[in-house]
Structure 1
Amino acid sequence: MAKIESRKKQNPKLQQSELSDGRASLYLEYYLGRTETPVLDENGQQVYYTTGAMAGKPKYQIKHSRKKENLNLYIWLHPRSQQERVQNKNTLALAEKIRFEREQTFLEDREGYRLRKEMDEDFMEFCKEFIKMPSLTKYTRITLKHGLQKFMDFLAATPRYALYKNNLKMTQLTVDMIAAYVEYLKENGTGDGPKIYFRMFKRMVTAAVDKDLIKKNPCRGFVLKNDNMTLQKEILLPEEIQQLVATHFEGERTEIHRAFIFGLYTGIRWCDTVSLTHANVDF
């Protein structure tokens, strides 16, 4: 059976993944270091060891960070002919050459330390910079700001996570934290609000994942849906609209009356109505 040789001190290491067709796919595995996250109790307080040699010392959760690079090279797991054995030998030689070149680049550029540093960036600061992107519309930026503020409110209001309200590293954004945030939104919102807040939050998390700042999207699998059995917004009946349109009184502001009618028949929001100018009209 074909098997690659991997030395402990190599970084990256050449690894293989068995396929169902009798071959193995070769890939490189980089070790980027480790992170230490304090273990907290339900009240957000540091947990300490109570027994053993570590008694009295704070507990930390250790997480090792790795990255894989697929080489798109394949070897036969059970070569049956001389041709397949020669093919394996040449493929492994090429893979080792690539591995050695990657290792030199890794050491020269200290890529592992750079990636580790980026993963230790503050998630909040990343979101604030993301919101400033010129490609986003004004409405999207406003909604993203509300989504970020809602998440910050959740951290501050949750004893377990209050420690992170001012600084939350990318590696500290966990699945458990997202699950708690989803429950917070359900309990502290009605109508479309919770769904919109979470959608904007997921958009910022996905942007961090796309930049390799977060290795695995912690929001995957979480969905917020509206309760279809309840009326989300109060709606005026047609006869009520006609009554409001026909209603006038002394001292009324006609421009407000017209703007209200305009909103009723177009669905446009008041905050957008007040910013309309003649330049916005497509004649």
Structure 2
Amino acid sequence: MRILLKEKKISNEKASLYIEYYKGYTKTEEGKIKHNRQMETLKLYVWLNPKTTGQKLENKEARRLAEDIYSIRKSEELTGKFGMVNPHKGKVRVIDYFNSLKEKRSGYLSNYGVWVTTKRYIDQYFHKSLTFSELTPELIEGFKKFLDVEATTKYGTALKHGSKYSYFNRFRTLVKAAYEEGYVTDVRLLKIKSFDEKEAKREYLTLPELQLLAATECKYPVLKRAFLFSCMTGLRWSDVHKLKWQEVRDEDGLCRIIFTQQKTDNTEYLYISKQARELLGERSAISDRVFVGLQYSSAITTELLRWSMKAGITKHVTFHTSRHTAATLLLAHGADLYTVMKSLGHRDIRTTQIYAKILDEKLKEAANLLPTLNIEL
């Protein structure tokens, strides 16, 4: 595209200054040439034959302003506003740009993990030399189909819907950032829809199930203490695992935990029950971890399932089940949504409302549990 500063005679005395955007030409079926031009009227005018000093000054000022606007438009062309990719940015590799976005999230462990996994699938589908100038809607649609049909976990199983949604949305984040920074200019890249978001099933334990679990022996006592503690407090695995004694405050007969959430990097202030405090055990050095020996491993995951089955629980129990359990127990025993939201460290109350919806479904089921009466009226 060429950008030109021009003027057009509008009367015998004056001309109008304007900018022409010339985008080439096409040929009709009859062989006629059709030029593609767009005009931007600047509303600046010059005298064709200035006679006075005043008219000459008006011309000088009008042309100066027109040149300034013309310079701005040329600069905008270089940054891609008019559909012309900056040649230097267009040559940037997609994977390099993704890596830069990924590393900006390195301080947030759980979110960073999703970015790392997304990169693994990008490496599998796209050629490592792919640049932004080569990125097309068709390629992005192909990546979406790859996640939906072909991609597998490291264990060889198909991706769950929530995983597809998360990974593809990370790639869409890349495309949006690249568009805003002038690496791509094709707006069609932004219009590719993600997977439909489906509400994930939240497995949780009822109070009777939790009591069964508490009364059942576990191969790893530290796992039992940590899991039950999370059921009573709602702390995530990452926060339970790294919890140190300096974050546990025993004050005036109460216990409060002051910690930084691993996922959100927010500081939280959480009062815990007397029984939850007992699960922490005896205090040691402030820099010591509370749950010494608790490590993420396949052995721990397997034992958690084995322990649950030994207690007679047939649900698929993971450590995160404890967090869901804490939320549903709080709501079932009278806590309001705002209190539960603050206890779990949710940023959006809509996340907490999902647990209220779970309880509503259980109440509907309970309505049909009463025996049928023989009623004579």
TM-score, normalised by the number of residues in structure 2: 0.43
Shift of 1:202: 1.7
Partner residue of 2:103 out of 132, 140, 147: 132
Q: Tell me whether 1:276 sits opposite 2:243 in the alignment.
A: yes
Read off the aligned partner of 1:245 and give its amino acid letter: A
Deviates more, 1:129-138 or 1:211-220: 129-138
CA contact (8 A) 1:259 1:273 kept: yes
Match of 1:240 in 2: 209
User: What is the CA–CA distance in structure 1 between the aligned matches of 2:229 and 2:67, rounded to whole Å?
Assistant: 69
**CA distance in 2: counterparts of 1:257 and 1:175, whole angstroms:** 50
In the superposition, relative to structure 1, how do residues 276 and 137 fare at CA in structure 2: closer, same or farther (>3 Å)?
Answer: same
Partner of residue 142, structure 1:
113
Structure 1 residue 172 displacement after superposition: 2.0
Shift of 1:203: 1.7
Distance in 2 separating the partners of 1:178 and 1:104: 30
Q: CA deviation at 1:115?
A: 2.4
Aligned residues: 199
Alignment of 1:208-247 (within 5 A): 208-217=178-187, 218-227=189-198, 232=201, 234-247=203-216
Q: State the SS of the aligned residue for 2:160.
A: coil
Structure 1 residue matching 2:227: 3-state secondary structure: helix
Percent pairwise identity: 16
CA contact (8 A) 2:226 2:240 kept: yes
Give distance in 2, aligned partners of 1:216 and 1:165.
Answer: 20
Q: For residues 141 and 103 of structure 1, do their structure 2 counterparts lie closer, same or farther at Cα, with a shift above 3 Å needed?
A: same
Q: Write the deviation string for residues 230-255 of structure 1: whole angstroms up to 9, x where unpaired.
A: x6354444432221122125xx3322
Question: 1:165–1:13: structure 2 CA closer, same or farther, 3 Å change rule?
Answer: same
Quote the residue 2:173 is aligned against. 203
Tell me the equivalent position of 1:192. 162
1:192 shift after superposition? 1.6
**Residues 26-73 of structure 1: CA distance to partner in whole angstroms, max 9, x if unpaired?**
767599xxxxxxxxxxxxxxxxxxxxxxxxxxxxxxxxxxxx9x98x6
Q: Which amino acid counterpart does residue 232 of structure 1 have in structure 2?
A: K
Structure 2 residue 85 is matched with structure 1 residue 117: no
Give the secondary-structure state (helix, strand or coil) at the position aligned to 2:86: helix
- In structure 2, the partner of 1:264 is 231
1:145 deviates by 1.8
2:372 corresponding residue in structure 1: none
- C-alpha RMSD over aligned residues: 4.3
Letter paired with 2:164: P
Contact persistence 2:148–2:159 (CA under 8 A): yes
Structure 1 residues 135 and 259: alpha-carbon distance in aligned structure 2, compared to 1, 3 A threshold: closer
* Paired residues of 1:120 and 1:169 also in contact (CA < 8 A): yes
Distance across 2 between alignment mates of 1:75 and 1:127: 44
Q: How does 1:3-42 map to 2 (within 5 A)?
A: 11-13=2-4
1:122·1:167 contact (CA, 8 Å) conserved in 2?
yes
Q: In the TM superposition, what is the alpha-carbon distance from 1:264 to its structure 2 partner? A: 3.4
Give the Cα–Cα distance (whole angstroms) in 2 for the partners of residues 14 and 135 of structure 1: 48
Bigger Rg, which one? 2
CA deviation after TM superposition for structure 1 residue 223, in Å: 2.2
Aligned to 2:130: 168
**Which structure's relative contact order is higher, taking Cα pairs within 8 Å and 6+ residues apart?**
1
Shift of 1:226: 3.6
Task: Tell me if structure 2 keeps the 8 A contact 1:130–1:204.
Answer: yes
What is the identity, as a one-letter code, of the residue corresponding to 2:119?
Answer: L
| Secondary structure, aligned partner of 2:144 | helix
Measured in 2, the distance between the counterparts of 1:165 and 1:104 equals 33
CA contact (8 A) 2:85 2:182 kept: no
Q: Which runs of 5+ in 2 are unaligned?
A: 7-17, 24-37, 45-54, 150-157, 248-256, 259-268, 270-377
TM-score by length of 1: 0.55
Going from structure 1 to structure 2, the CA distance change for 1:257 and 1:214 (only over 3 Å counts) comes to same
Q: Distance in 2 between matches of 1:205 and 1:152?
A: 16
Change (3 A) 1:267 1:129: same
Contact (CA 8 Å) 1:28, 1:99: kept in 2 or not? no
Equivalent residue of 1:192, what SS?
Answer: helix
Show the counterpart of 1:42: none
State how far apart, in whole Å, the 1-side matches of 2:215 and 2:61 are.
82
